[in-house]
Amino acid sequence: KQEVTQIPAALSVPEGENLVLNCSFTDSAIYNLQWFRQDPGKGLTSLLLIQSSQREQTSGRLNASLDKSSGRSTLYIAASQPGDSATYLCAAPINYGGSQGNLIFGKGTKLSVKP
Amino acid sequence: DTEVTQTPKHLVMGMTNKKSLKCEQHMGHRAMYWYKQKAKKPPELMFVYSYEKLSINESVPSRFSPECPNSSLLNLHLHALQPEDSALYLCASSQVPGPYEQYFGPGTRLTVT
């Protein structure tokens, strides 16, 4: 059964710093991994989806990597800004025959970027 | 347009009320999902609709009743809820059923009094 873990649970950095958020998963037969951002009380915004055949995906200041052999994905945020403050969640689809795309979420990393 | 809309944004209801949550997407997606998210917890899957048919019910109590009237619309009918059902209810969709990118709506914040 796929399990997804995110460490740390919270992170506080000064503005301008580059940072890395971590996501671990137990089943290396992962189909893809999706990173989301969630602002307090709001829905989820999809940031990046990285397929199992890919090593990296980039969007603006965000870069996601995937290493199936080690069961890890990282989200790199360059030159962080106060507007990046949010909770970041990673999620992987459950792996079994007939899967309908059920996503298994990590508990998230709450990021605070101080001006 | 990668937008999923949900109404209402906020809902307060008593335990004897009947209410409905609505979700809509116009991306031509054929899979739609309901998730429940409690405070400071990750979302948990409730239901999956594939091609307008209920394909997954994650052992959700019968006081939650989903409905998919057409390929663009997903409803969640609520009846006789408990205070512990208070949560953020999120709707999502993907192009087809399966491990594909999911797009989420803004959610409905439900409070049961």
Contact B43 A105 (CB under 8 A): yes
Does residue B103 or residue B57 have the better pLDDT?
A: B103
Give B82's contacts (C-beta < 8 A, 6+ positions apart): B15, B63, B112
Looking at residue B2, what is its pLDDT?
65
pLDDT above 90 for A1: no
Looking at residue A97, what is its pLDDT?
55
Average pLDDT of the residues in A28-53: 92
pLDDT above 60 for A2: yes
Per-residue confidence band for A10, with pLDDT thresholds at 50, 70 and 90: very high
Contact B104 A32 (CB under 8 A): no
Dihedral sign (CA A83, A86, A92, A93): negative
Which of B7, B54, B68, B100 should be substituted to probe chain A, the one whose Cβ sees the most A Cβ atoms within 10 Å?
A: B100
Q: What DSSP string describes B27-73?
A: S---EEEEEEE-TTS--EEEEEEETTEEEEE-S--TTEEEEEEETTE
Measure the CA–CA gap between B47 and A43, rounded to whole angstroms: 17
Contact B101 A105 (CB under 8 A): no
Nearest to A20 by CA among A76, A60, A104: A76
pLDDT tens string A72-112: 999 999 999 999 999 999 999 876 555 567 899 999 999 99
Across A62-66, A97-101, B41-45, least confident range: A97-101
Residues of chain B with Cβ-Cβ distance to A102 below 8 Å are 45, 48, 56, 58
Do A78 and A17 form a contact (C-beta atoms < 8 A)?
A: no
Give the mean pLDDT of chain A.
92
What residue has token string 């007939």? A98
State what percent of residues in chain B have pLDDT above 70: 98
Q: CB-based contact (8 Å) between A35 and chain B?
A: no
SS3 A13: strand
Give B17's contacts (C-beta < 8 A, 6+ positions apart): B78, B79, B81
Min Cα separation A46/chain B (Å):
7
Do B106 and B19 form a contact (C-beta atoms < 8 A)?
A: no
Average pLDDT of the residues in A68-73: 94
pLDDT above 70 for B112: yes
Is the link from the previous residue into A82 a cis peptide, with omega within 30 of 0?
Answer: no
Looking at residue A98, what is its pLDDT?
58
Do B107 and B8 form a contact (C-beta atoms < 8 A)?
A: no
Average pLDDT of the residues in B37-54: 94
Contact A36 B106 (CB under 8 A): no
Q: Which of residues 32-71 of B touch A (CB under 8 A)?
A: 33, 41-43, 45, 48, 50, 55-56, 58
pLDDT above 70 for B6: yes
Which strands, in side-by-side order, build the sheet including A4-7?
Answer: A4-7, A19-25, A72-77, A62-67, A56-59
Do B47 and B34 form a contact (C-beta atoms < 8 A)?
A: yes
Which among B2, B97, B102 has the least Cβ separation from residue A34? B102
Dihedral sign (CA A64, A93, A101, B36): negative
Average pLDDT of the residues in B47-51: 93
